Amino acid sequence: MPVPLSPDEARQFLDSAESPAAYLDLLDAVSFRSAGAALRLGVFEALADGPLPVAEIATRTGTDPLGLRLLLDALAGYGYLTRADGRYANSANTARWLLRAAPDSFAPVLSFWTTVVTGWWHDLEESIRTGGPTGDFYAWLEKQPETLADFQTMLRRLSGWLGGEIVDLLPVGADDRSLLDVGGGHAGYPVAFLRAHPHLRATVVDLPGALEQGAVTVAEAGLTDRVTLCPGDLFTADWGTGHDLVLLFNIVHGYQREQVSSLLCRAAAALRPGGRVALLEPLAEVPQRPPGPGEAFVRMFSLNLFHTQGGRAYDFPELADLLAGAGFTDVRQTMLTRSDTDHLVTAVLG
């Protein structure tokens, strides 16, 4: 959690040059790292049923009592835990958001990002110097099953939050039969469309590890007879042809401009004449986006994409230009009401 400061304390760091604001960044970085460690060690889960002394928490988590106590004290100082009479407990915010069983738990998000930032950002300077990623992010992710599961869970829950609005924004005609989801391994969006349109079938193309959660999502929805899961690399797998709608949701930001152009050309080849493509993206430059955490997230996210994958958050004019180059017309943009960062970009083939 951010360092708890009174208005007067915050003012000397943020509204003047009286104190170095970077000091707060240092403390917040340690808070972030400590919370990620506690999550992976099972500290918050060990305290799910109420306060415990250090010795009992150490037994439940298999940790060294001294090291654990130092971690617990740090977490209490940051507000993740409370401490009284030698016993520690989850704070109200932690109990609501960082237990895996909590509704819309933030635990997968925190776990994923702490792994990425601590595992990949050690050589950020190198990617800035060279202009490209220092490794293959998706190949690395496929070898990290727990991180991959957190990643897909994060995306699937996002699809549950945004899916209804997106289905309403993308009407499906009575004669439409085939939807292709490229890179949507969790299968959340195809399930939303198929539930709304009983005459529709879907194909999902993604890497094998990503599709493992998609298989569970489809089975739980009772749609295994209407969804085909196709494992493969997005640039070489067979996407098929004659689809009515192609979804590229949270995909193009992971690639450089030339690769995005290739993906859009593949989408055009997979569509029937007059078919549509839809992109879900956090756009880089959108005047109506309100300032605040959403804007800050997009800037962080874009830098992370550049470092880990060579991509970035694109602005709408650049996406419109890339879509036109792939043969698409009638390019439109809609800012979603359920998110201050996500935008739906649609276009028609031909």
Q: What is the pLDDT of residues 297-313, one digit of tens each?
A: 899 999 999 999 999 99
Token pair for residue 249? 């949701």
Look at 94 and 4; give whichever has higher pLDDT: 94
SS3 256: coil
pLDDT of the residue at 6: 85
Average pLDDT for 88-114: 95
Over the chain, what is the mean pLDDT? Answer: 94
pLDDT confidence bin for 91, thresholds 50/70/90: very high
Distance CA 267, CA 348 (A): 11
| Pure H helices in 92-144 | 92-97, 107-120, 124-130, 137-142
CATH architecture of 136-349: 3-Layer(aba) Sandwich (3.40)
Q: Is the Cβ–Cβ distance between 259 and 234 less than 8 Å?
A: no
The helix or strand, by DSSP H or E, that contains position 22, with its residue range, turns out to be: helix 22-41
pLDDT of the residue at 51: 98
Check pLDDT > 60 for residue 289. Answer: no
pLDDT of the residue at 220: 96
Average pLDDT for 93-122: 94
Plot region of 221 (φ>0 → left; ψ -120 to 50 → alpha; else → beta) = alpha
Q: Which of 86-90, 245-249, 336-340 has the lowest mean pLDDT?
A: 336-340
Distance CA 188, CA 40 (A): 26
DSSP secondary structure code for residue 91 in this structure? -
Check pLDDT > 70 for residue 286. Answer: no
SS3 302: helix
Token pair for residue 53? 């002394």
Delimit the domains of the chain by residue range: 7-100, 136-349
Which candidate, 86, 76, 81, 82, places its Cα nearest to that of 56?
86
pLDDT of the residue at 287: 54
Q: Which CATH code is given to the segment(s) 7-100? A: 1.10.10.10
| Residue-wise pLDDT tens digits, 163-180 | 999 999 999 999 999 999
Predicted TM-score (pTM) of this structure? 0.89
The helix or strand, by DSSP H or E, that contains position 53, with its residue range, turns out to be: strand 52-53
pLDDT of the residue at 295: 83
* pLDDT cut 70: percent of the chain above it: 98
pLDDT of the residue at 291: 62
Check pLDDT > 60 for residue 102. Answer: yes
pLDDT of the residue at 301: 94
Q: Is the Cβ–Cβ distance between 198 and 168 less than 8 Å?
A: no
Q: Which of 16-30, 56-70, 167-181 has the lowest mean pLDDT?
A: 16-30
Check pLDDT > 90 for residue 288. Answer: no
Which candidate, 241, 237, 319, places its Cα nearest to that of 273?
241
pLDDT of the residue at 290: 58
Token pair for residue 37? 């460690």
* Common-topology check for domains 7-100 and 136-349: no
Average pLDDT for 32-44: 97
Check pLDDT > 90 for residue 1. Answer: no
Token pair for residue 174? 């009575």
